């Protein structure tokens, strides 16, 4: 049985986890920087990088203590090498390199998106390739046909904002807190989803991609008009996002040539209304719907350790010269 140490530091969560090749999470530790970024209404890269330096090694030590293991017990060290805020990525990757060198263990440089893409297989060990993945986070909005480890066919991406970014910007426009997604979800529960007329960019078109910029501008005009309540705008915005996600995913399911399941991952998958709309879509296609538990949907190190375990099983390890990458498409 292999044991992998996973490290994550690409955005505003610092995390360390120990995961086995059989998909058992032995321990996972996470520190969020939300409070440090809240006064600025978004993630400040310089603050994030410094906070990762402070938090990462104590989390690694805590993860080992929890699992009653030491560095000598692991088979490999997997660290996020991108994409993300480069200062933070460098902290995690250099830490991974140093630990790998000190303990004479292999290093595995994990693409953060691959971590999200494979995390459903950690949640559900029976999930077989190929599956259709809707990856919806603060930085990404993509439909991927996951065909194997390292084999991803991108069917759609966003031509402007990511879905989570749209939630965060809407929250800011409406004067709700940061991070915006959970705040918009709460307000939406009190509002009327048909209260504000909003566009559904690209819905019904043969273009496979996502677009949220026009929706964001329409939300801004609605907020400035003074005609609508915050709750109604939040509910109508959420309904518009759901229509976009469902329509684009429906199109991809029809065109993707057969998949074993519809899978959703990324922070926006924490939204209950979005989850349930996607679950209904999967049922219409007679497919199982897989959504990892919420803690595994948002950024964490267990998914990086697991992607490392999947790569390690295939002998996919990296050299010490592997670079940290701010951009790294799957």
Summarize the annotated binding site as residue ranges. 112, 116, 135-139, 168, 181, 185, 271, 299
Please report whether residue 232 would count as binding Zn ion according to CB under 5 A: no
Task: Give residue 257's region: left, alpha or beta (phi > 0; psi -120 to 50).
Answer: left
138 binds, among Zn ion, ligand KG4, none (CB under 5 to 8 A by kind): ligand KG4
Residue 286 beta carbon to ligand KG4: minimum distance, rounded to whole angstroms: 27
Among positions 108-137, residues that touch Zn ion (CB under 5 A) are 137
Task: State the chain's maximal CA–CA distance in angstroms.
Answer: 64
What is the Cα–Cα distance from 56 to 29, expressed in whole angstroms?
10
Cβ closest to ligand KG4, residue 167 vs residue 306: 167
Find, among 66, 65, 53, 39, the residue nearest to 9 by Cα. 53
Out of 181, 191, 292, 308, which residue is the one contacting ligand KG4 (CB under 6 A)? 181
What is the Cα–Cα distance from 289 to 328, expressed in whole angstroms?
28
Tell me which stretch binds ligand KG4 (CB under 6 A): 15-23, 62-70, 266-274, 311-319: 266-274
Say whether 276 sits in a helix, a strand or coil: helix
83 binds, among Zn ion, ligand KG4, none (CB under 5 to 8 A by kind): none
Out of 21, 45, 182, 288, which residue is the one contacting ligand KG4 (CB under 6 A)? 182
Give the count of beta carbons closer than 10 Å to the beta carbon of residue 287: 18
Is residue 127 within 8 A of residue 120, CB to CB? The reply is yes
Residue 237 beta carbon to ligand KG4: minimum distance, rounded to whole angstroms: 10
Please report whether residue 11 would count as binding ligand KG4 according to CB under 6 A: yes
Tell me which stretch binds ligand KG4 (CB under 6 A): 119-127, 137-145, 208-216, 305-313: 137-145
Q: How far apart are the first and last CA of the chain?
A: 28
Bind-site residues for Fe cation: 112, 116, 299
* Residue 75 C-alpha from the chain's centroid: 26
Please report whether residue 139 would count as binding ligand KG4 according to CB under 6 A: yes
Residue 299 beta carbon to Zn ion: minimum distance, rounded to whole angstroms: 4
What is the Cα–Cα distance from 143 to 155, expressed in whole angstroms?
5
The CA-CA-CA angle for residues 286, 287, 292, to 5°, reads 150
Cβ closest to ligand KG4, residue 21 vs residue 41: 41
Please report whether residue 88 would count as binding ligand KG4 according to CB under 6 A: no
What is the Cα–Cα distance from 8 to 2, expressed in whole angstroms?
19
Is residue 71 within 8 A of residue 113, CB to CB? The reply is no
DSSP class of residue 108 equals E
Cβ closest to ligand KG4, residue 76 vs residue 301: 301
Please report whether residue 80 would count as binding Zn ion according to CB under 5 A: no
Please report whether residue 268 would count as binding ligand KG4 according to CB under 6 A: yes
Out of 8, 114, 299, 310, which residue is the one contacting Zn ion (CB under 5 A)? 299
Number of residues that bind ligand KG4 (CB under 6 A): 19
């Amino acid at each position: 049985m292999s044991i992998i140490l996973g490290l994550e530091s690409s955005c505003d969560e610092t995390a360390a986890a120990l995961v086995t090749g059989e998909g058992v999470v032995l321990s996972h530790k996470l520190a969020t920087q939300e409070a440090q970024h809240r006064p600025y209404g978004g993630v400040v890269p310089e603050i994030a990088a410094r906070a990762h330096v402070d938090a990462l090694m104590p989390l690694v030590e805590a993860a080992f203590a929890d699992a009653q293991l030491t560095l000598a017990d692991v088979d490999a060290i997997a660290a996020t090498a991108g994409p993300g805020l480069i200062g933070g990525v460098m902290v995690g990757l250099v830490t991974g390199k140093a630990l790998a060198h000190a303990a004479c263990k292999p290093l595995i440089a994990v693409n953060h998106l691959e971590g999200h893409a494979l995390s459903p297989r950690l949640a559900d060990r029976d999930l077989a390739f190929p599956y259709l993945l809707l990856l919806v986070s603060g930085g990404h909005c993509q439909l991927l046909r996951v065909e194997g480890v390292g084999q991803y066919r991108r069917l759609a991406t966003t031509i402007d904002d990511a879905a989570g970014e749209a939630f965060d910007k809407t929250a800011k426009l409406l004067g709700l807190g940061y991070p915006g997604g959970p705040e918009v979800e709460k307000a939406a529960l009190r509002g009327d989803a048909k209260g504000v007329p909003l566009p559904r960019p690209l819905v019904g078109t043969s273009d496979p991609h996502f677009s949220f910029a026009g929706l964001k501008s329409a939300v801004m005009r609605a907020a400035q008009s003074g005609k609508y309540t915050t709750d109604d705008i939040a509910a109508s915005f959420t309904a518009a996002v759901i229509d976009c996600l469902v329509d684009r995913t429906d199109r991809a399911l029809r065109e993707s040539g057969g998949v074993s399941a519809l899978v959703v991952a990324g922070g926006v998958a924490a939204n209950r209304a979005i989850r349930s709309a996607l679950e209904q879509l999967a049922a219409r296609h007679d497919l199982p719907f897989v959504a990892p538990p919420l803690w595994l949907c948002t950024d964490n190190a267990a998914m990086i350790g697991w992607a490392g375990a999947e790569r390690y099983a295939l002998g996919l390890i990296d050299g010490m010269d592997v670079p940290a990458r701010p951009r790294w498409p799957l």
